[in-house]
């Protein structure tokens, strides 16, 4: 006689609980559907993205609007992320050690260079800007707080993912890599070679590969375990920044990330000679 089959954890929770969990997951996926390139999305497009019925999207969207996590454009009736998310994100940001420890050194870098300073962290094969200080000069790179950028073609992304586990890099490079500018490099082998150069010298470049007319340099920040948890970047217009000028920023940049890493508990000797 066969022993009775044990119930799975989902079966034990019952239909009502499973439905609630499913709704929560769908609501989370709905919020994640928005991006820098799609700041407003209609019900039909959301339903297609999430592969659920329009009625489900409408119900969840209205609930999120009521809670301030979404807003609805009265002209287009499309949805966009609400200020409630910004408030929640601010709470998260307040308890993040990285921006708190990095802040004074980011201001110092901007004072030394006169260019836009960026602090980025890894985010699912991309980088997210969690702190930015725009250049005081009239002609400057504009950086949006919270913006997500492809890692393969930005200096901040390269400075982070050059030190990522091989499996993470392989997954990122296996995805379709779009050419954001005519100078974007999308060949996986060339990008792996660039990552190797970053590991060798300790900092990364970008030369109009993420945005036309913008060049940048970035170096990684490490935590107490030695893991790279983010990167500090310096970026500006090519009219003012030659590649030689960018490389001259490498010494103050490496000094800054070494200090920030030390304040985060990284005690190993920094791998690159700051005076070289």
* pLDDT, tens digit, 9 for 90 and up, residues 160-206: 999 999 999 999 999 899 999 999 999 999 999 999 999 999 999 99
**Mean pLDDT within 232-245:** 92
The CA distance from 152 to 160, in Å, is 10
Q: Report whether pLDDT(262) > 70.
A: yes
- Indicate the burial class of 48 (C-beta count within 10 angstroms; 0-12, 13-18, 19 or more): middle
Q: Which domains does the chain have, with CATH numbers?
A: 17-87 (1.10.10.10), 96-263 (3.30.450.40)
Q: Indicate the Cα dihedral angle 83, 87, 88, 93, nearest 10°.
A: 130
Q: Model pTM greater than 0.85? A: no
Q: Report whether pLDDT(232) > 60.
A: yes
**Mean pLDDT within 219-224:** 93
Please state, rounded to an integer, the average pLDDT across all residues of the chain: 85
Other CB atoms within 10 A of residue 131 CB: 21
> Token match 């009502």: residue?
16
What tokens does 244 get?
């030689």
Q: Report whether pLDDT(89) > 80.
A: no
Give the pLDDT score at 142.
Answer: 61
Give the pLDDT score at 274.
Answer: 37
Q: What percent of the chain stands above pLDDT 70?
A: 83
Which pLDDT tens digit goes with each residue over 118-166? 999 998 888 998 888 888 876 656 666 667 889 999 999 999 999 999 9
What tokens does 117 get?
């300073």
Give the pLDDT score at 276.
Answer: 35
For every residue of 184-233, DSSP letters joined together read ----HHHHHHHHHHHHHHS-EEEESSSSTTEEEEEEEEE-TTS-EEEEEE
The CA distance from 41 to 30, in Å, is 10
Q: What's the pLDDT band for 268 if we cut at 50, 70, 90?
A: low
The CA distance from 14 to 151, in Å, is 42
3-state class (DSSP) for residue 21:
helix
Contact 122, 111 (CB under 8 A): no
The one-character DSSP state at 137 is S
Contact 257, 217 (CB under 8 A): no
């Amino acid at each position: 006689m066969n022993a009775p089959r044990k119930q799975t954890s989902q079966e034990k929770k019952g239909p009502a609980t499973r439905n609630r969990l499913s709704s929560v997951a769908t609501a989370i996926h709905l919020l994640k559907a928005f991006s820098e390139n799609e700041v407003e999305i209609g019900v039909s497009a959301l339903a297609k993205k999430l592969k659920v019925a329009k009625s489900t999207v409408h119900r969840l969207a209205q609930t999120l609007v009521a809670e301030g996590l979404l807003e609805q454009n009265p002209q287009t009736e499309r949805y966009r992320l609400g200020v409630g998310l910004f408030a929640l994100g601010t709470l998260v940001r307040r308890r993040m050690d990285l921006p708190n420890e990095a802040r004074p050194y980011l201001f110092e870098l901007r004072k030394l260079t006169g260019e836009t300073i960026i602090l980025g962290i890894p985010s699912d094969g991309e980088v997210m800007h969690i702190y930015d200080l725009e250049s005081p000069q009239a002609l400057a790179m504009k950086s949006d707080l919270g913006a997500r950028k492809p890692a393969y073609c930005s200096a901040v992304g390269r400075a982070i993912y050059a030190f990522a586990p091989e499996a993470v890099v392989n997954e990122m490079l296996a995805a379709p890599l779009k050419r954001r500018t005519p100078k974007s490099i999308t060949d996986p082998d060339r990008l792996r070679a660039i990552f190797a150069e970053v590991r060798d010298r300790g900092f990364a470049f970008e030369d109009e590969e993420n945005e036309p007319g913008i060049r940048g340099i970035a170096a990684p920040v490490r935590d107490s375990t030695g893991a790279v948890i983010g990167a500090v970047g310096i970026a500006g217009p090519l009219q003012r920044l030659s590649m030689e000028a960018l490389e001259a920023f490498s010494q103050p940049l490496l000094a800054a990330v070494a200090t920030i890493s030390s304040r985060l508990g990284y005690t190993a000797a920094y791998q690159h000679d700051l005076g070289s």
